[in-house]
Amino acid sequence: MNKGLALFFAILGTILLAGISYSISLGNGWLVLLFSVLSVAFIGFGFVVKAKQRKRNGG
């Protein structure tokens, strides 16, 4: 994975995790659930992208 794409995934993943903590501080369970699902999906998507790029590059 190139550095720009890795930085994108790292920053957006961090923002989503911060959204979970902010939602907890507000006491809004629905937002906690929303940000949790989005975080898991986005991090999983990052692993899929990394695996596809690794497979495409032959290593």
pLDDT score at 41 = 97
Domain of residue 42 covers: 3-56
Q: Residue 59 above 80 pLDDT?
A: no
Provide the number of structural domains found in the chain. 1
Question: Where are any strands of DSSP class E within 6-51?
Answer: none
Burial class of residue 50, CB neighbours in 10 A (0-12, 13-18, 19+): middle
> pLDDT digits over 14-55, tens only?
999 999 999 999 999 999 999 999 999 999 999 999 999 999
Q: Can you list the pairs that 36-41 forms with residues at least 24 positions away whose Cβ atoms lie under 8 Å? A: 39/13
Per-residue confidence at 58, pLDDT binned at 50, 70, 90?
confident
